[in-house]
Amino acid sequence: MANKLIELVNISKTYGDNVVLDDLNLYFNENKFLTLLGPSGCGKTTTLRIMGGFETPDTGSVLFQGKDIKSIPPNHRPLNTVFQKYALFTHMTVADNIAFGLKIKKKSKAYIQDKIKYALKLVNLDGFENRMPDSLSGGQQQRIAIARAIVNEPKVLLLDEPLGALDLKLRQDMQYELIRLKNELGITFVYVTHDQEEALTMSDTIVVMNQGYIQQIGSPEDIYNEPENAFVADFIGESNILSATMVEDKLVNILGVNFPCVDTGFGQNKPVDVVIRPEDIDFVAPDEGQLKGRVTSLIFKGVHYEMEVMANGFEWLVHSTDMQPVGTEVGMKVDPFDIQIMNKPTSEDEEAVKVDE
């Protein structure tokens, strides 16, 4: 297909005995903000480095606009990378750092000057041309690293946990900054992070990875509201994950109680996993709920209270603005569309998906 910008086909990579990527397939289109999300060691950085050309996959191919670029060295690839620790050239000024790629492409002096000015303006660091990288703060260094990459007008910008070393406030500012940059430049960003909030905030598409496998690909809403398995549900946000039995279509038995739900096609009396988000549990009078339990802990979180409720032998996590003191007997209700049903992992590959409890 013409609009596939980059496509990874059957990519595998092992280091010694350690399988980092196992038969990975992934493609994305132009002008997208794509995020590879997962815990450390899930293979997300390796995937990025394979696109950048810093790692060679053991098998499979890397297609750029339909052409295999697997054997093209990084200096000839039409994409640029922003490295985790910025990797600025400490012996050069900011201007020389930004000009590096352009000088190699033998652009004219005037063109380079214009580009430096433009890039510094874009990252809000006008007038920093003659500073040395060492004299800049972490956030400023990060902006320079981005400026250095984008002046080369790559079709794709690869970003490897670029905000990892910044403090919370600066991270949030930079998140908006990156979204703005992406929209102004009109190019594709491939972003690697282990921070689910960052992923939900910035991405058009999120690729959730674990132990070398892609767990789910989807929009931030899809990933959050309809996780395909227990791993995704647990990794993205907080949740109650339980084993349950699908009695029939639209009816699931959780801890001995039958809950109406909206899912169909799982068969009859099949074991499944269910996810219920803590904010989707509503408190009602003790005898009016589907479940009855006792509050065991209460923490004030600012926008809501976080409570744990012991009911039917399970500690339920509940987020609510409706405060219930410890020891209170409460009833709990869950709307059918708030219950997300997932298949249990069956094959060995899918075992990787299982949450460590």
Partner 1 sequence: MNKKFFATPYIIWMTGFTIIPLLLILYYGLTDKTGAFTIDNIVSIATPEHAKALFLSIGLALISTLICLILAYPLAMILKSLQVNQNRFIVFLFILPMWMNFLLRTMAWQTLLENQGVINAIFRFLGLPQMKLINTSYAIIFGMVYNFLPFMILPIYNVLIKISDDIINAAKDLGANQFQVFLKIIFPLTLPGVISGITMVFIPALTTFVISNLLGGGKILLIGNVIEQEFTFSGNWHLGSGLSLVLMIFILVSMALLAKYDKNGEGTVF
- The region of 14-22, 32-40, 68-76, 123-131 touching partner 1 under the rule CB under 8 A is 68-76
Tell me the HSE value of 38 on the side-chain side, using a 13 A CA sphere: 27
Return the SS3 of 105. Answer: coil
| CA distances to 200, 234, 350 from 225, in Å | 12, 12, 21
For residue 98, the one-letter residue type is I
d(CA 50, CA 15): 14
Q: CB-wise, 79 or 223, nearer to partner 1?
A: 79
Q: Is 57 among the residues that bind partner 1 (CB under 8 A)? A: no
Tokens of 268: 């009859």
DSSP assignments along 70-105, one per residue:
TTS-GGGSSEEEE-TT----TTS-HHHHHHHHHHHT
Q: Is 71 among the residues that bind partner 1 (CB under 8 A)? A: no
DSSP assignments along 179-238, one per residue:
HHHHHHHT-EEEEEES-HHHHHHH-SEEEEEETTEEEEEE-HHHHHHS-SSHHHHHHSS-
Tokens of 59: 């098998």
- The region of 81-89, 206-214, 259-267, 343-351 touching partner 1 under the rule CB under 8 A is 81-89
When binding is defined by CB under 8 A, the residue of 70, 85, 131, 354 that contacts partner 1 is 85
Q: Is 16 among the residues that bind partner 1 (CB under 8 A)? A: no
Site size for partner 1, by CB under 8 A? 25
Q: CB-wise, 6 or 341, nearer to partner 1?
A: 6
Among residue numbers 226 through 245, which ones bind partner 1 (CB under 8 A)?
Answer: none
Asked if 25 and 8 count as a contact pair (C-beta separation under 8 A), the reply is yes
> 9: how many CB neighbours lie within 10 A of its CB?
17
Q: Is 149 among the residues that bind partner 1 (CB under 8 A)? A: yes
Q: CB-wise, 86 or 128, nearer to partner 1?
A: 86
| CA distances to 24, 131, 196, 209 from 11, in Å | 5, 42, 25, 14
How many residues in total does the chain contain? 357
User: What values do phi and psi take at 273, rounded to 5?
Assistant: -105, 140
Q: Is 155 among the residues that bind partner 1 (CB under 8 A)? A: no
- The region of 77-85, 268-276, 290-298, 317-325 touching partner 1 under the rule CB under 8 A is 77-85
Among residue numbers 87 through 116, which ones bind partner 1 (CB under 8 A)?
Answer: 87-91, 100-101, 104-105
Q: CB-wise, 157 or 246, nearer to partner 1?
A: 157
When binding is defined by CB under 8 A, the residue of 15, 25, 39, 74 that contacts partner 1 is 74
Q: Is 73 among the residues that bind partner 1 (CB under 8 A)? A: yes
Residues in Cβ contact with 70 at an 8 Å cutoff, skipping those fewer than 6 apart: 56, 57, 60, 61, 62
Q: Closest approach of Cβ 230 to partner 1, in Å? A: 35
C-alpha 46, offset from chain centre: 15
- The region of 36-44, 70-78, 294-302, 342-350 touching partner 1 under the rule CB under 8 A is 70-78
Among residue numbers 296 through 335, which ones bind partner 1 (CB under 8 A)?
Answer: none
Q: Is 81 among the residues that bind partner 1 (CB under 8 A)? A: yes
- The region of 22-30, 82-90, 180-188, 227-235 touching partner 1 under the rule CB under 8 A is 82-90
Q: Is 76 among the residues that bind partner 1 (CB under 8 A)? A: yes
Q: Closest approach of Cβ 74 to partner 1, in Å? A: 4
Return the SS3 of 70. Answer: coil
Q: Is 185 among the residues that bind partner 1 (CB under 8 A)? A: no
For residue 267, the one-letter residue type is G
- The region of 46-54, 181-189, 238-246, 341-349 touching partner 1 under the rule CB under 8 A is 46-54
Q: Which residues contribute to the site for partner 1 (CB under 8 A)?
A: 52-54, 73-77, 80-81, 83-85, 87-91, 100-101, 104-105, 148-149, 152
